[in-house]
Each structure stands twice: as C-alpha cells, then as structure tokens.
Amino acid sequence: MESQQNDHLSKKWIHLRRILERPGPFCSPSFVASEQHLEFLMKTCKILVIGAGGLGCELLKDLAYLGFRDIHVIDMDTIDLSNLNRQFLFRRKDIGSSKAQCAAEFINKRVPGCVVTPHFCKIQDYDESFYRDFHIVVCGLDSVVARRWINGMILSLLVFDEEGSLDQSSLIPIIDGGTEGFRGNARVILPSITACIECNLDLYPPQVTYPLCTIATTPRLPEHCIEYVKIIQWEKENPFGVALDGDDPQHLSWVYERAQDRANHFRITGLTYRLVQGVLKNIIPAVASTNAVIASVCATEVFKIATSCYESLNNYMMFNDVDGIYTYHYESERKTDCLACSNVSRPVIIDDPNSMTLENLITYLCENAQFQMKNPGLTANINGKNKTLYMSAVPCIEERTRPNLTLSLVELGLVDGHEIMVADQTSPNTITIQLKFAIHDSEME
C-alpha cells in the first residue's frame, strides 16, 4: 500500500522532477540537480500570499500545483456577487463569507497534501514576528497603500552586521503582481538589493487622496465633501447601524444628501449622485485572463527563487494584450535616496517658507507622485524638544495640533535643512524628510 502511494506521488510530480532532478542548458550556473529541491518545496518552504481576489485565487491554485504545501493567505474582504465572474475559487453560497477562508478551504479540498492557512484580517494586524516566518511573500493586491506597507515591513526585517553587510538569511523576497483591465505587471524585489516598491512609486498613477485636515477644515472640491461624510459623519451618526456599503442605494442617498448640505455650506458646486458612487466605490476593472497570465508569471518566479533552478526575473515585467499580446521586461533601478530602502532623508524643496503653511506641506506629501501619502502625522525637533506638528489619527492630538495647520513653516520654528519625521499608514516605519528652502535667510527677514 505504501509503495503504491509513493508511486502515485512520483507520477503526480513527474513534471517538477524533470526540472529539479536533472540539469539543463538553461539552468542557473549555481543549480545542482537533486531530489532535495522538491522535498524543500513540500516540507519546508513557507509562502505568504497577500490578497485572495482575482489575482490571489490564481496564485493559490498555481502555487499549490507547483508543489508548495505550506501556504498562508491574508485578505480582509468578504465575497461579493460581482467577484464570481473571475474569482473562481468562490461560489454563490460563499457570498458574504471571508475570501481568505473560502479560498483556503477550496484549495485544501482540491489539492491533497496542500495546507493553506487563512487569515481574515488586515496585513497591519500582524507584527514582525509573523512575517519573519516566511521564505517568500507574494502580493496579489489592488492597493498601492498595502504594497507600500508590506514593502516597509519586509525591509524592517533585514539584519546588517557592524560593517553594514546584509545577513542573507534575513532577506525575504517579494514577488508583486498587479493587473488593470488588459494590462498587468510582475516584479521581483530583493529587499536592499534591487529596487523596492517605493523606489518606483512614480510608476503608479497617484491615487486620489484627500488629507483629513483639508476635508475637515477647508474643503474646496465636491470630492472633499463626500470624503468628509464617508470618513467622519458616517462613523459619528451611524445612520443604519452598519458599515458604509457603496452598493446600497439607501447608503448612497444618505451620503449624497449630507455631502450636498456640506457643499452648499461652503458654496461648492458640481456634486452629483454619480460622483458619490465613483468616490465611494473606486472600482478597478479586472479581466480573468490578465489575472491568469500575471499569476502564472509570479508563481514561476516563486518557484525559481525557491529552487534556484533558473535565474529569476531582473526585475520588472509588463504585459499588455489590448491589441495582440505584448510583453517587455527591464531592470528597474534602485533609488539611492529611497524613502524606504535607504537611510537618506528625502529633500522637499520649499519655494517660500513664509507663505507655505503646514497644511500646504501635508497636501504636498499627499498629492506628490514621489510621496503619495494618505494621512501623514508630522513630528520635528525644535529647540531641542520633540514637537508634534500635526497628527489626525488621535482625536485629542488632532484637536490640539489643528491650529498649527494655518501657521507658516517659519512661524512653526522650522528652518532650512530641518528634518521632519513623518508617520503614515502607507508604511509601518517612520520616514524622514528634509526641508530645503529655495530662498536665503536674508530674504526671509
């Protein structure tokens, strides 16, 4: 009986054995064919998949059929009817259930021996000890903020010796995939060695973000009014006793009416019901075939890195099948002043510190393509004391620091070359920016 089971396993993984147990002309120079490679995949290698949506479902299926047996998946979302046309691990009966849990259950039943462990939560709910346990992290996300956060977390796990040399055992590769319609991309990130997410942040179109200080105190656009109702009024009034649902007509009507009242108060025009829908839902188009292509590329890169059988992608690949099929890959360069993977503070050029207020600086950090922050909190050392300039995350601190928003940088006591510590939800770590005044001290007097 045991010999029959072994024979079955041998036949099941014959396609992998042909790659891992014999050399070939395209193998990596450091590759040594051995039975131990498949054994490592099945008994030791631990993979984390972030996201169980259209891309995540494909990734879980591909990784399971590539021999990985210890897979964890994180996703905070539940299944919606609109997901079923492309997220093939889910069925109608699963609507309303956790994506991570349903995806794990499906794979565990379909692929004997594979154990997928679900985590129905945010990636921010776990600390360093959780992420340190994995050999490779694979991202199937639709959020730039989440990508930046996990990028910062993995970078924080790196260990360097006294001479600044990286301890290779602390390096956890990140394989990142992304799709939008008929376009997609895949990248291989070796933290502190190759370009990270932050190094190429300007590749992503800046996400539409509205600083809380702006929407709360000086709204200028109809979108500001909608965001105010969404973030502040809904939570405060809790009109229906549930979380805001962008697909619920009653919820949409309530938000529209309150946003219109606020727009009228501030004499803002252009607010429509359709605009409310657009701001609340922020829909990204998805195509099943594109997800399948990008997931297969990402899974192949995981396999190559885990076994060293072939050289991995160096380090960015783009895919486009709008008109025919087109792929292109190139080496994305690492930035020497990257906010995340370097220890150098990023300079911020200030034209006139007398007229630029703290609110202007926060807006700049949110709207600039190189920063793309969401809700930054700023702290600086002024006259030898650490001072919180503004922080919206804690209501009592936000109320106390709100008057600083209208003060100029000079009035706050900030000078040319001043370093400011910035905390934001896009990163688990605090980053540093350095003010560079374009005018001299004599001109400021």
Amino acid at 18: R
Q: Which of 76, 75, 83 is nearest to 247 (CA)?
A: 83
> Are the beta carbons of 167 and 161 closer than 8 angstroms?
yes
Report the candidate in 438, 425, 427, 430 with the shortest Cα–Cα distance to residue 345.
Answer: 430
Spatial distance between the Cα atoms of 160 and 170, rounded to a whole number of angstroms: 9
By CB atoms closer than 10 A (0-12, 13-18, 19+), residue 282 is exposed
> What's the CA gap between 298 and 292, in Å, rounded?
10
Q: Before 315, cis peptide (omega within 30)?
A: yes
Angle of helix 273-281 versus helix 249-265 axis, rounded to 10: 110
The helix-helix angle for 288-307 and 36-43 (nearest 10°) equals: 120
What tokens does 363 get? 């807006």
Distance CA 99, CA 80 (A): 9
Cβ-proximal residues to 278 (8 Å cutoff; 6+ apart), any chain: none
Q: In angstroms, what is the C-alpha Rg of the chain?
A: 25
**Active site includes 213?**
yes
385-390 and 377-382 strand pairing: antiparallel
- CA gap 218, 275 in Å, rounded: 20
Pick the catalytic residue from 45, 114, 196, 213.
213
Give backbone dihedrals phi and psi of 114, rounded to 5 degrees, phi first: -85, 130
Q: Which residue type occupies 387?
A: K
Distance CA 340, CA 337 (A): 9
List residues with catalytic annotation.
Answer: 213
